[in-house]
Amino acid sequence: MTAPKKPWSARTLAAQAMGVTDPLTKAVVPPIHVATTYIRDEDNAYSSGYVYGRPDNATTREAEDVLAMLEGGKAAFLFGSGMAAATAVFQALDPGDHVVAPTVMYWALRHWLANEAKRWGLVVDFVDTTDLDALRAAVTPGRTRLVWIETPSNPLWTITDIAAAAEIAHAAGARLAVDSTTASPYHSQPLALGADIVMHAATKILNGHSDVVAGALVTAAEDDFWARITTIRRGQGGILGPFEAYLLMRGMRTFHLRAAAQSASAATLAERLAAHPAVAKVLYPGLPDHPGHAVAARQMAHGFGYMLSIRLAAGEQAAIATAAKVELWKRATSLGGVESLIEHRASIEGAGSPCPTDLLRLSVGIEDPQDLYDDLSSALERATGRG
Ligand SMILES: *Cc1c(COP(=O)(O)O)cnc(C)c1O
């Protein structure tokens, strides 16, 4: 008798992209399936399961299998961007449905919810989801259909209690969806904490190389709501193309190594920058003085992620000047890549943003953390005279 197959760890399965190889050549990297159409059987059936390139693609499906595994979900869909994935969830609701979303969240999605969602007939309320009493008060049984949270949330890295939010949503007959982009499956598995759907901007650390725009949804159950999302993904043509899916899968093979290194460096930088004379405040859930630290410590594993922000004692112009003076950090939007990025976030978020103007957002890559500290510390000193 052969021994039962070991339940391999997520890291092992991701490294081998679920162990898929090519049966024709025995290649350890499966080919990219580029066909848009497939041969019908003589009896008119499609026995391979593939019909046309818009509803489905084998390479995209391989990457979706990795994502479903990483999140412990039943199924996953990849979309052409994180925004396409997120908006598919809202489009799966019915006109008149009530949605609760956080005040601090990814800016473009907040903008879409505030300005576009009402055209779909949705009623959206924004609430501080870190405050469970406020969340409870914002949810109406029978009327609220979806609670959306993001944790840690852009760009203040506030923490929402996922298990408590799931309980509140479910008690009202609503679903909980979590934008887990910045936690990533390395630190957090929202489905295991009671969430119904997890969304990722796979553009970020899952791909990790700043060369693919992609979004993902992973579901806890293949229920009616997932069926709606399936119809939307297939009908509206939101599928991620096979070349991008291949690159994403290649990125996910090293995801655990990158996430571990980036989160360790972010923690080191958070601690060191907190002691820098030009820095008034470091926002990082790994720091004990962060208001969400206790909840983060409970619901995140292996650390607190690769994102942090700093607030400058000398204000907005000093923040912009610091970003102008770095040499190693790249002055750019986005996050999660192997290269570290710095951004004056208020400039991009515009009016109505909860982002303070003295804030610089830092996405920590895989460079030597000493180099990252030296470069930023020197820029801070040259911009503010404090070092
Ligand atoms: C980038 C990002 C998104 C949007 O993803 P795109 O791929 O840029 O559309 C959504 N949520 C968070 C937290 C993000 O960082």
* In a shared domain, residues 248 and 132: yes
Asked whether residue 5 is assigned to any structural domain, the reply reads no
Is 179 annotated in the active site? yes
- Give me the pLDDT at residue 3, please: 62
* In a shared domain, residues 29 and 171: yes
Q: What is the strand order of the sheet 75-79 is part of? A: 75-79, 215-219, 197-201, 175-179, 144-150, 98-102, 123-127
pTM of the model: 0.97
Q: Which of 203, 238, 253 is the last residue of a domain?
A: 253
Q: Atom 2, ligand 1: which residue's CA is nearest? A: 201
Q: Any idea which residue has 């019909």 for tokens?
A: 51
Asked whether residue 145 is assigned to any structural domain, the reply reads yes
**Do β-strands 215-219 and 75-79 pair in parallel, antiparallel, or remain unpaired?**
antiparallel
pLDDT digits (tens, 9 = 90+) for 290-319: 999 999 999 999 999 999 999 999 999 999
* In a shared domain, residues 165 and 295: no
* In a shared domain, residues 18 and 154: yes
Asked whether residue 223 is assigned to any structural domain, the reply reads yes
Secondary structure in 3-state letters for the chain = CCCCCCCCCHHHHHHCHHHCCCCCCCCCCCCCCCCCECCCCCCCCCCCCCCECCCCCHHHHHHHHHHHHHHCCCEEEEECCHHHHHHHHHHCCCCCCEEEEECCCCHHHHHHHHHCHHHHCCEEEEECCCCHHHHHHHCCCCCEEEEEEECCECCCCECCCHHHHHHHHHHCCCEEEEECCCCHHHHCCHHHHCCCEEEEECCCCCCCCCCCCCEEEEECCCCHHHHHHHHHHHHHCCECCHHHHHHHHHHHCCHHHHHHHHHHHHHHHHHHHHCCCCEEEEECCCCCCCCCHHHHHHHCCCCCCCEEEEEECCCHHHHHHHHHHCCCCEECCCCCCCCCEEEEHHHHHCCCCCCCCCEEEEECCCCCHHHHHHHHHHHHHHHHCCC
Mean pLDDT, the chain, integer: 96
Q: Any idea which residue has 């949330």 for tokens?
A: 153
For the domain that residue 337 is a member of, what is the CATH number?
3.90.1150.10
Which residues, judged by CB distance below 6 Å to any ligand atom, belong to the binding site of ligand 1?
81-83, 106, 109, 150, 154, 179, 181-182, 201, 203-204, 213, 215, 335
Is 106 annotated in the active site? yes
Asked whether residue 2 is assigned to any structural domain, the reply reads no
Q: Residue 379's closest CA among 331, 341, 339, 327?
A: 327
Answer for the pair 217, 73: CB distance below 8 angstroms, yes or no: no
Q: Which of 253, 288, 316 is the last residue of a domain?
A: 253
- Give me the pLDDT at residue 4, please: 59
Asked whether residue 363 is assigned to any structural domain, the reply reads yes
Q: Residue 284's closest CA among 270, 297, 300, 274?
A: 270
Answer for the pair 376, 277: CB distance below 8 angstroms, yes or no: no
Q: Which of 253, 284, 312 is the last residue of a domain?
A: 253
- Give me the pLDDT at residue 164, please: 98
Asked whether residue 387 is assigned to any structural domain, the reply reads no
* In a shared domain, residues 337 and 277: yes
Q: Ligand 1 centroid to 106 CA: how many Å?
A: 7
Is 233 annotated in the active site? no
Is 358 annotated in the active site? no
* In a shared domain, residues 275 and 249: no
Token couple for 280 = 């008034």
* In a shared domain, residues 291 and 235: no
Q: What total number of domains does the chain contain?
A: 2
* In a shared domain, residues 237 and 277: no
Q: Ligand 1 centroid to 209 CA: how many Å?
A: 15
Which residues constitute the domain of residue 317? 255-382
Asked whether residue 269 is assigned to any structural domain, the reply reads yes
Total residues belonging to the chain: 387
pLDDT digits (tens, 9 = 90+) for 109-166: 999 999 999 998 999 999 999 999 999 999 999 999 999 999 999 999 999 999 999 9
* In a shared domain, residues 28 and 64: yes
For the domain that residue 179 is a member of, what is the CATH number?
3.40.640.10
Answer for the pair 269, 305: CB distance below 8 angstroms, yes or no: no
Q: Atom 12, ligand 1: which residue's CA is nearest? A: 106
Which is the catalytic residue, given 106, 186, 246, 284?
106
- Report the C-alpha gap between 362 and 334 in whole angstroms: 10
Answer for the pair 255, 183: CB distance below 8 angstroms, yes or no: no
Residues with pLDDT less than 50, the chain: none
* In a shared domain, residues 233 and 281: no
- Report the C-alpha gap between 353 and 347 in whole angstroms: 10
* In a shared domain, residues 194 and 322: no
Asked whether residue 99 is assigned to any structural domain, the reply reads yes
* In a shared domain, residues 327 and 373: yes
